Each structure stands twice: as structure tokens, then as C-alpha cells.
Amino acid sequence: MDFLSFVIGLCLTWIIIKTFHIILRSKAIHKKLPPGPKPFPVIGNLLELGDKPHRSLTRLAKEYGPIMTLKLGRLTTIVISSANMAKEVLQTHDQLLSNRTVPDAFRLQGHEVVGMPFIPISRHWRNLRKICNGQLFSNTALDANQDTRRKKVQELLAETRQSSLTGEAVDIGKAAFKTSLNMLSNTILSVDLVGPNSDATIKYKEIVWTIMKEAGKPNLADFFPVLQKFDPQGIRQRMTVNFVKMKNIFAHKISERLQLRKVSGSLTNSDMLDTLINICEENSEMMDKYRMEHFIMDLFAAGTDTTSSTMEWAMAELLCNPDASSKAKLELKQVIGEGHTMEESDISRLPYLQAILKETLRLHPPTPLLLPRKADADVEINGYIIPKGAQVLVNAWAIGRDPTLWENANSFMPDRFLESEIDVKGRNFEIIPFGSGRRICPGLPLAIRVLHLMLGSLIHTFDWKLEDGVKLEDMNMEENFGITLQRAHPLRAVPI
């Protein structure tokens, strides 16, 4: 009994010491947390977010600084709002801050396990990045698909020309979405997903935007994990409906291709889908049909909505800034020549067009808060501790409008980039629309080509004016917040 008493006493002593250690450590970390607004009991700072969190968090950062703590329910969230702090998170401490907090909205159909944006750094994630960087978005692969993108832009110009003949306004976002959707579907599947004069464009756009909007909403199930099984706001339910619609489209296309390949003498398309199927046949651990469906979904969701929204913002800014539009048209005329077609090879000779897109992405980053990251361990930045398990949000929208970095930060001034080496490829933290570090958007090389080609072609071929009755000073530049940043009111403009 004496021995047993000794063992029990020893265990109790160890438990007491361990408990005190945890309490002291918790207090020490709490003291070192970045500053932030005082949280309310239980709900924390949830009421601070509002319906446009990128703007709310920017206002709070002016008071509490570029690294700030919020308590969102039970979730400790660190918000980064300056280029220097973003560099610490995305480059210096990238290894410990590369994994994701997975929104409850994406915990469906197993997407959190295989979907590239949210899976942890792992063998599967590295395999997907290897496929992207080596076989899908390499310069060699993109050069091989130039004809497809050229053809789709020519179709866009032909449809726009018809509108110019009738004086009909063009829905810029819808037109850009259709073009980027068919560019991707031809590159990946060798088919148009949307035909001419088809209502399918609206259907696809609604599906993708609903996914982005629902996923971007503040979700009680993320802040109070006990609520996840109840889905109190119905976000996961609505996500699932649209997710399944989209997934079924690609599952059907994959099944069709797999059946076709079984037919003796059938020709391969040498597109992305064939590349993925070849990988699947060579190494089923790297890729299989289930993973393929989710991977292609990610490519379409990320590559269509962001492209069309950026195009819409760029055209809106040019309509509001006629001088910038005139400079762009003059440059295109001098470099390409009147009546000639713009090619991707011309992009490097069009510095003002490049400046316009940089300025658009600075003011209107497609993903204003980037995708959330998670601390795998305590990380010290600028004397503060980001505690293990905390969510980390990088406010790219705030950084792009930081008045300490940018003169007239809220004004559209493409000329600021003419004498600047700053680019959008993740090396300069003053402007990070595609993120940076190992989690940078893998489709960046394709996005750069598509955006320049589409925008340059539209402003080289046509003059543009707003619909009759709409004045520049009355033009609405309000935003709708989701994972991506959309215009609240579709841009309609008449090509001339």
C-alpha cells in the first residue's frame, strides 16, 4: 500500500505540475498575442466582421496594427495587414504556416481530404503541385495550348462585334466568364462547356459564384465546432447542392473519356484530361478518378470566377479613367498595329497593359483575404506569438491599399508601375493577389496570359461606353464579398 500510495502521489504531483505548466504557458502566450479589439464573452469579435470582412479588418488594423488578434468564437485568428508582416508569414515562416484551416463549407464529398486548396502539405499535395508545375502550367504546356486561347478570344471578339453592330450592351463579366470557361474546358477536356447564345453561361456562373459566396460567409460552424453537425446557417447544405452539380459535370466527362480510350484505334486528345489519365494509369497512388474529379473542379472554380471578376474590374476602371484607356489603346496600336490581332507573345512588349492589370489586381485582388492558413506550432513574429492552431488571414486587399506603400492608394493610377519592378508573382509583398510561398496559386502563369490577352484584345479592337443613361459619376463600384471579390452590379458597356 505504501508503494501504491507513493505511485498515486507521484502521479498527482506530475498532473499538478503539468496543469500549472499549461496554465502558465497559456498566460505567457496570451500576453504575447498581437493586440486586437476586446472580445465579447462566447462570441468574441464576430460582430466586428460585418458583410465585407476585408474592409472591416482593414479599419481595425488602423487602430490595432498590421498584426492583430481576433477571437472568432473559439477560433483564435491572427490578421496580417502589411507587406512586411505578410513576408514573415508567407516567406520567412512559410514552413510552419503553410497548412490550412478548412472551412466547414468545404467538408463535403471528401473534398477536404483530396481538394488541392485545403489539404495539408503532404505527399498527395506535392504530387498535385508537381502535376501543375511540370505538366499543366509549365511554359511548354501553355505554349502548346496558345491556339486554343487565341481561338476563344477571337470568338469573344466576334460576338462583341455583333453587339457593336446593333448597339447592344455587353455584360462584361458574363462574356469574360464564358470565354475563360471555354478556354479551360478546351484545354482540359477539348470541348466547349458553353455554346454560342447559350443560357448555360449564366448557370455555370451562378454555380461557381454560389460556391465562392457561401464559402466566404462567416460561418458559425467554423467558430463553434460543436455546431458543425447541425450546419446552423445551411451553408454546407447549399454548398453541397452546387458542389454536386459541378462535380457531376466533370465526372461524366471523365467517364466518357475513359470509355473512349478503351475503344481500339481511338485517338487521344493530348489535353490535360489525357495527361491526368496517363498519370493515373502509370501511378494510381498519385492520381485516380476520384481525385481527378476534385482536381478538375478546383481548376475550374479557381480559373473562371477569378479571371472574369478581374476582367470586369479592369474594364470598369478603364471606363472610369478615359486617360488610362487612351494610353492603353495608343500602346496597342503602336506595338501591334491597327487591324492586327494581339498574340500572347506581344504581352512582354506592352508595359502599359501590364501596368493596368497590376493596378487592377492591387485595388481588386480576386481573393481579398487569400485562403486561411493555420499555425502548426507557436511562431514568433515581430515580438508577438502566433499560437499553435491559430488561423492566419492575410488581408491582400488592405496591403494593396496601404497608404504607406502607395501614393493615392485608393486611386486607379497604372502609371505608378511603369518605372517599378514590382510584379504580381509572389516575389513582392506589396501586391499579392495570387498569394506567395509554397501555397501560391499554381494557375498563375495561365491567368497572366489569359488576362492580358483578353483585356488587350477587347480594348484594342473596340472603343467602349456605358449603357445609355448611365453616367461615369453614377457608376456603382460596390463589391460582393465571397472567397472572391465580385462587382455588386454587373458591368454593362457598349462596344463601338
pLDDT at 24 over 50: no
What pLDDT is attached to residue 341? 94
What pLDDT is attached to residue 392? 98
Q: How confident is the model at residue 265 (pLDDT cuts 50, 70, 90)?
A: low
Q: Give pLDDT tens digits for 66-77.
A: 999 999 999 999
Please report how the helices 444-461 and 351-363 are oriented relative to each other, as an axis angle in degrees rounded to 10.
110
Q: What is the mean pLDDT of the chain?
A: 90
35-54 as b/e: b if 16+ CB within 10 A: ebbebeeeebbbebbeebbb
Q: How confident is the model at residue 208 (pLDDT cuts 50, 70, 90)?
A: confident
Q: Which is more confident, 474 or 192? A: 192
Q: What are phi and psi of 130, to 5 degrees?
A: -65, -40
Say how far apart CA 233 and CA 178 lie, in whole Å: 31
What pLDDT is attached to residue 134? 87
What pLDDT is attached to residue 477? 87
Q: Which of 193, 215, 220, 24 is nearest to 102 (CA)?
A: 215
What pLDDT is attached to residue 481? 85
Q: How confident is the model at residue 1 (pLDDT cuts 50, 70, 90)?
A: very low
Q: Which of 144, 206, 215, 160 is nearest to 181 (CA)?
A: 206
Question: For 136-145, 200-209, 402-411, which range has the lowest pLDDT when averaged over its residues?
Answer: 200-209
What pLDDT is attached to residue 27? 47
What pLDDT is attached to residue 65? 97
pLDDT at 11 over 70: no
Q: Give pLDDT tens digits for 359-373.
A: 999 999 999 999 999
pLDDT at 26 over 80: no
What pLDDT is attached to residue 3? 40
CA dihedral 328, 334, 339, 342 (to 10 degrees): -60
What pLDDT is attached to residue 6? 42
Q: How confident is the model at residue 17 (pLDDT cuts 50, 70, 90)?
A: low
Contact 342, 336 (CB under 8 A): yes
Question: For 6-15, 79-88, 164-173, 428-437, which range has the lowest pLDDT when averaged over its residues?
Answer: 6-15
Average pLDDT score over residue span 230-240 = 94
Q: In 3-state terms, what secondary structure has residue 398?
A: helix
What pLDDT is attached to residue 8? 52
How is residue 125 written as a grid cell? 499535395
What pLDDT is attached to residue 266? 67
Q: How confident is the model at residue 15 (pLDDT cuts 50, 70, 90)?
A: low
Q: Give pLDDT tens digits for 132-168.
A: 998 889 999 999 999 999 999 999 999 999 999 999 9
pLDDT at 407 over 80: yes
Q: How confident is the model at residue 406 (pLDDT cuts 50, 70, 90)?
A: very high
What percent of the chain stands above pLDDT 90? 71
Say how far apart CA 223 and CA 243 lie, in whole Å: 23
Q: How confident is the model at residue 13 (pLDDT cuts 50, 70, 90)?
A: low
Q: Give pLDDT tens digits for 93-135.
A: 999 999 999 999 999 888 999 999 999 999 999 999 998 998 8
Other C-beta atoms within 10 Å of 183: how many? 27
pLDDT at 85 over 80: yes
* Residue 328, H or E segment: helix 322-336
Q: How confident is the model at residue 4 (pLDDT cuts 50, 70, 90)?
A: very low
CA 266 to chain centre: 37
Average pLDDT score over residue span 292-313 = 92
Q: How confident is the model at residue 9 (pLDDT cuts 50, 70, 90)?
A: low
Contact 308, 177 (CB under 8 A): yes
Partners of 270 in beta bridges: none
Q: Which fold has domain 40-495?
A: Cytochrome p450 (1.10.630)
Q: Which of 172, 118, 182, 113 is nearest to 145 (CA)?
A: 182
Q: Which is more confident, 281 or 355? A: 355
Q: Give pLDDT tens digits for 30-50.
A: 559 999 999 999 999 999 999
pLDDT at 233 over 80: yes
